[in-house]
Amino acid sequence: MKFHQPRAGIFVPDGTPLPDALARVTHLGIGAHQDDLEFMAFHGILECYQKSDAWFGGVTCTNGAGSSRTGPYASFTDERMMEIRRQEQDKAATVGDFGAMIQLDYPSSAVKSATDDSLKLDLLQILSATRPQVVYTHNPADKHDTHIGVTIAALQAMRLMPLADRPTRVIGCEVWRNLDWLPDADKVLMDVSGRDNLAAALNGIFDSQIAGGKRYDLATLGRRAANATFFDSHSTDAATQLVFGMDLTPIVTDDSLDIAGYVGGLIAAFQTDVLQKLTTRLGDS
């Protein structure tokens, strides 16, 4: 498998030969940055954790050069930070029992480009080799431009696959914008309760980000707890840690569906829900 970036690489934690390691992947996470998979696709990691018939494969698209850095990492060069982040991601793949971890090493500028097809073609190679049942990626309403670039490349790559080979479920996940605004009927609910220890272990590996100025570990678990508590106002909590997702499967199974139009329809449904509640209460006043 030849990728466009010369420093791209694949790590197989258990040493399984590469073709077999990729072919066994059932759940694939496609994230922009090192740590995105652990924050947004924890459901997929749990679905496969220590199982022999389900394997999580990870793809990190960027090289980590633009990471924020303070404290012990304040003096690190871009090159040093890139190496640290790559190491952290591979450590997380070992702790999370990943079937394979692929790091594509793109600069963010290439991922955000509307004219560079390199990432899309690399992802197509990976998707064709793994043919996962489920794909987790960023949601198209995320506010981070690099995340949006990854999402579009991933969706376009899946649309290039033969229809029979495409994933049967594609989920857009929360990172730089949560999905609480989605109407409840449109939310993909992913219960990740009861494994806070594993979540904390995975999140905590990314010391370069946490000690480097961002408490992603606390924020991620806090968001999941808030989702569980605030999801339903009229019943006791059914979960203690809940992840919301956006169902992107229709975009992958129907090539005629406009991506922006699909997301716009969900936003319009949110607007309708809010305005209906307001007008019902306001009446004719």
Q: What is the pLDDT of residues 8-28, one digit of tens each?
A: 999 999 999 999 999 999 999
Residue 284 pLDDT > 70, yes or no?
A: no
Write down the mean pLDDT value for the chain.
Answer: 95
pTM, entire model = 0.95
Report, as an integer, the average pLDDT of 177-197.
95
Smallest CA-to-CA distance from 82 within 96, 66, 101 is with: 66
| CATH number of residue 52's parent domain | 3.40.50.10320
Total of domains in the chain: 1
How far is Cα 19 from Cα 131, in angstroms, rounded to an integer?
Answer: 12
Within a domain: 175:
yes
How far is Cα 221 from Cα 192, in angstroms, rounded to an integer?
Answer: 10
Residue 74: predicted pLDDT: 85
In the numeric block, the tokens 């229809």 are attached to: 163
Residue 285 pLDDT > 70, yes or no?
A: no
- Which residue range is the domain that position 246 belongs to? 9-282
Residue 278: predicted pLDDT: 94
Residue 158 exposed, middle or buried by CB count within 10 Å (0-12, 13-18, 19+): buried
Residue 58: predicted pLDDT: 98
Work out whether strand 169-173 and strand 242-247 pair parallel, antiparallel, or are unpaired.
Answer: antiparallel
In the numeric block, the tokens 């992603």 are attached to: 216
Work out whether strand 134-138 and strand 242-247 pair parallel, antiparallel, or are unpaired.
Answer: unpaired
Residue 206 pLDDT > 70, yes or no?
A: yes
Is the Cβ–Cβ distance between 255 and 159 less than 8 Å? yes
Within a domain: 3:
no
